[in-house]
Structure formats: C-alpha cells, structure tokens
Amino acid sequence: MTTNAYDSRPWLASYSPELAPTIGEREVDSVGALVDATCRRYADRPAFSNLGKVLTFADVGRLSDAFAAFLLDDLGLSKGDRIVVQSPNLLQYPIAVYGALKAGLVVVGANPLYSASEMKKVFVDSGAVAIVALENFADKLEKIIGETSLQHVILTEVGDLLPAPKRVVTNFVVKRVRKMVPPHGLTGTIPFRQALAAGEKSARGSGRASVDRPVVEPGDTALLQYTGGTTGGTKAAVLTHANLLANQAQMLAPMKLRLTPGEETILAALPLYHIFSMTVNGLAFFAYGAHNVLVTNPRETADLVKTLQSTKPSVYILVSTLAAQLLDDPAFRALDFSGLKLAVAGGMAVRSATADAWREATGSDMLEGYGLTEASPVVCVNPTWEHPRVGTIGLPLPSTDIELRDDDGRPVALGERGELCVRGPQVMSGYWNQPENSAEVLVDGWLRTGDVGTMSDDGFITIVDRKKDMIVVSGFNVYPSEVEEVAMSHPKVKDAGAIGVPDDRSGESVVLFVVPSDPSLTTDELRAYFKGELAGYKRPHRIEFRDELPKTNVGKVLRRELKALLDETPAA
C-alpha cells in the first residue's frame, strides 16, 4: 500500500494531550438505548425547555416510551417502517424522534418549510407509512397525501406539551389570533396528546398487553436524512444507529475538555430536523446530561434575546448568520456573557468579521467546524482547548481519517488543493435506493465530499472551493439543479440557470437566469409559481431574463460564466 502525507495523521500532533485519537467502544447498540440510559442517569435534571416549559430527563424517558408503545401497540407499526417527523423545534420533536427510534422505526426528517410538492417527493421516495406533523402544515399534507403511502397522520399543536392553562391559550392564539394554522380537510388524524395517552396506557400494561420493543442492532437504519448530496438531486443518506452513536461521541470528545456533565445549558437555535442540530443537540449534548433550550423561531430576535436572558446558556449552537443578526441587536450585546463557555457555528462558513465581532461582544470564541449529511454530519471542528484558527474548519474529529485527493484519486501533498475525502464510523452506508449514486461517492470506504481544501503541516483544514455548485442559504443547502428543474417546469420558461451569490443576511442567496419561451412571462409570475413549488430559502432572491445562457458543447449551463454575467448587470 502506497504511503502518503496523511498516513501519519498530522492533525494528531495538534490535539490536546487530553483528547484521545479514537472514541473507543460503544457503550450501547442503539439510539433508543442511549436515550434510556441517559434518562436514568440524569432523571431529575432538565433535558429540554421550550416556551417556558421544562421537561426533565425522566419526563423525556416516560413520554418517548409512551410514544414508542403507541406506534407499536396502537398503530401496529413494525421495525424498519418509515415515519416522517415534520415540525420546528418544539418539545414534541425529541419525544417523537426518540419514541420512533425506540420502536425500531426509521425517522424521516422533513423541513417544515417544504412546499407540498417537495413533501410529496420525500414521502414517496422514503415509502413512509406514518407522519407526525405540526398542524400548521396540514393543509399542504392534505394536497399530496393521496399520492403517498402514508396511512397514519398524527397532528400536534404548538402548545401540546405545555401545562393546561398555557396550552389552551397558546393553541388558541396560534390558531385563532395569529391564524397560523390554515384550514384543512384531513380526516382520521390522531392528536399527539391522544397518542401519548394511549401509549402510556399500553406501557403500563393496563387492560391489554404491551408489544415488546424489537431488538435494534447498530447496523440498523435510524434516519433517512434528505439532502441534495454530493452529487446533487434529492436523495436520502442512510444513517445507521452506529453512525449516529459514533458521531455524537466524536463531537462530544473535544467538548468534554471545556464542559461539565449534567451542568450545561445549551442554546439549540438550529432546527432539530437539520442533521447538525439532531446529532449535536439531540444526541451529543443530550447524552452529556445538558439542558437544551429549544428555539422555535430564531428569527424573532427580541424573543430570542429574552430567552437567552432567562436561561443563560453556557454553549450556543447556531449559524453564522444568526450570530450576525444577534450582534446587530443592542439588547443582545447588553446580556451577561460571564457564563458563556463556547459557541459552535454549524451549517455554513463563519465569516472572520463575524467571529471577531462575536469575540469582542461576548468574550467567547466562535468555533467553526465542517460536516455534511453523509457523515452524520460532523467531520472537523476547531479546538476547544485553545483559540480557534479562524478561516479554517479545524481538525478532524477522533476516529476520523482525512485525505485530500486530486482528480485521479491520488493524495496531494500537504498544503496543496485536493478533494476532501473522509473515512470514519460516522460515514453513511449509502443513499436510499440509489446504488449508482452511492458508488460514486463511496469509494473503498472513503466518502468523496465534493469539497476542495488544503491541509496545513499541523493538520488544520481550509475549504477553498466546491466541486459541486451547492448554495448555502442561512445554513440550508440549496442545489441549483433543483431550482432550475422547477423553473423549467413553468410553461413559459425555455431554459434556466441558478447560482449563489454572497448575501450579508443569509450568507448566500439564489440568483436565477431565465430564458423565456413566451415574452409575456414576468418576474412576479415566476415568483408566484416558485411559492407553490419551493421552500422559501430555495426561492430566487433575484431573477434575470436572458435571450440565451452560456453552455458547454454538450449543453451544460456554465455557472461560472453566469456569475460573470451577473457582475455586468445592475441589481434588479
């Protein structure tokens, strides 16, 4: 076997002496078992809070047991069945996910921002038979449910796990005052609270026997996490229980050098349906006995600042754009940050100006890392034991190997540009029902990320380019091909090309170039069309009409040339 510069794992020389190079053996074989053990260990401590309500670890254990019993006993679901969970950060989210995983089901995370057509693609592709959804999105579900394999619909309301008076008021205000629940005609749905009540009855064995939980093995699938993937197009990364258990342990290893088990309060400002927050907040910090403060809508800055003031998190998990949003608010800068130990920014690159301003305002470093859905997702993170190296994605996590390779798959020298390739226990088993795409990105046990980077002599990695044309909007991946496909489905569009451009608020935004087939086509008409087809963050921020688009000799749109065209055109 040919040796190369990465065989010696140069990043290990930059590790703290207290950080082991590997994560060691698993203590449990499934996420459900991890949840059970954690809820026993930290029973009386707060686990999750949201909208002023706190669930202890014992509460989480009891409620997720009840939901698992309901899925198995009342619905008759079986190990391996897929269940969609579609909700923002509410207390119901971890209960539903943990309960489903305890029952041996496969969780399909669905972005609440999805349009009905996007929901249909995910639900059909996954073959999901059940869904837990916030009622706010039931109108979209109604439009497409008949074209899916969904048999059971469990609807929850925002305040479902709040105490009685507040629950009633909250649900009334959301539905009747703010009118955030569009009317729908779904029938035969099951209220989430009713599901929990039925499950608790089953779990107690009152009146009928409870179905035993199936045995869940490390190699069983836990999540179908939908992503454009390194090859573009909608597909699901198959993440096993072993993948998730490994990555939460890998991520927690450097955090333990700064944090105390059972004593930390974590701001969970990223949605749990995002794999970064699910692994970091929902698994790693949960397993460490931390109190996760779930933020339902981080865009409501005033409410978020009030939450920070009342809960005083010791760790912030957020995205760079949210950090910049907070830094613009004088009320945030006036907070007491004496208890803040660290901030971790996921989902997108951190701008050096934001990192500098964060440190000036809070006295704490903002740690940038790197990951992708196919790696459960965290691959690298900046050190917790010293100041981060701003502009880099840090060092590979324990039990993670990295190689930077040229176009022929050969390792490049340290300091040279190459495609970032990853090997470790967090790497997915493949894409759901897509063997060809799986084979393209998984080669001899290595995941080809499609990102181009360099590695310094002491192991720090810098991302310098993307082989894929992915656009990152506020931490969410947008694939140009998806936007183009939707645009060209409009009867008045002949051709389309999408690119990402820098945006002060969202990091990047989508710009769409369109060649009309009908001169009557207008920007407003296109925007109205996109509203029904794409989630808000995927919709073009700017639309440019052209007579033709630059293409290769085989007809592929040249996105680099589109960017040059944009530079020649004043913003519309």
Q: Mark whether 286 and 158 lie in a shared domain.
A: no
Residue 272 in any domain: the answer is yes
Residue 148 in any domain: the answer is yes
Helix segments in 70-137, DSSP class H: 92-102, 116-126
Q: Mark whether 517 and 483 lie in a shared domain.
A: yes
Number of structural domains in the chain: 3
Q: Out of 195-209, 421-435, 497-511, which region has the weakest mean confidence (pLDDT)?
A: 195-209
Structure tokens at 568: 């020649």
CB 514 within 8 A of CB 488: no
Model confidence pLDDT, tens digit, residues 255-303: 999 999 999 999 999 999 999 999 999 999 999 999 999 999 998 999 9
Model confidence pLDDT, tens digit, residues 62-99: 999 999 999 999 999 999 999 999 999 999 999 999 99
Question: With bands split at pLDDT 50, 70 and 90, how would you rate the model's confidence at 190?
Answer: very high
Q: How many CA atoms lie within 13 A of 266 on its CB side?
A: 29
**Residue 369: pLDDT over 60:** yes
Q: Mark whether 85 and 177 lie in a shared domain.
A: yes
Looking at residue 493, which CATH number applies to its domain?
3.30.300.30
Predicted local confidence at residue 15, as pLDDT: 98
Task: Supply the mean pLDDT for the chain.
Answer: 92
Could you give the angle at the alpha carbon of 429 between the alpha carbons of 424 and 433, nearest 5°? 160
* Average pLDDT score over residue span 382-409: 95
Q: Residue count of the chain, please give it.
A: 572
* Average pLDDT score over residue span 468-490: 85
Q: Mark whether 310 and 448 lie in a shared domain.
A: yes
Residue 224 in any domain: the answer is no
Domain extent, residue 520, equals 471-567
Residue 231 in any domain: the answer is no
Q: How far apart are CA 434 and CA 235, in angstroms?
A: 8
Residue 237 in any domain: the answer is no
CB 370 within 8 A of CB 379: yes
Residue 223 in any domain: the answer is no
* Average pLDDT score over residue span 373-401: 96
Q: Mark whether 203 and 262 lie in a shared domain.
A: no
* Bridging pattern class, strands 542-545 and 401-405: unpaired
Tell me which long-range contacts 17-20 makes (C-beta under 8 A, separation of at least 24).
18/257, 18/385, 19/253, 19/254, 19/257, 19/385, 19/398, 20/253, 20/398
Predicted local confidence at residue 301, as pLDDT: 93
Model confidence pLDDT, tens digit, residues 444-459: 999 999 998 999 999 9
Predicted local confidence at residue 206, as pLDDT: 47
Q: Is the peptide bond before 377 cis (omega within 30 degrees of 0)?
A: yes
* Bridging pattern class, strands 130-134 and 152-156: parallel
Of the three residues 468, 485, 500, the one that is the final residue of a domain is: 468
**Residue 365: pLDDT over 80:** yes
Q: Mark whether 254 and 296 lie in a shared domain.
A: yes
Q: Mark whether 207 and 264 lie in a shared domain.
A: no
Model confidence pLDDT, tens digit, residues 103-117: 999 999 999 989 999
Instruction: Give SS3 for 292.
Output: strand
Of the three residues 468, 491, 521, the one that is the final residue of a domain is: 468
Question: With bands split at pLDDT 50, 70 and 90, how would you rate the model's confidence at 552?
Answer: low
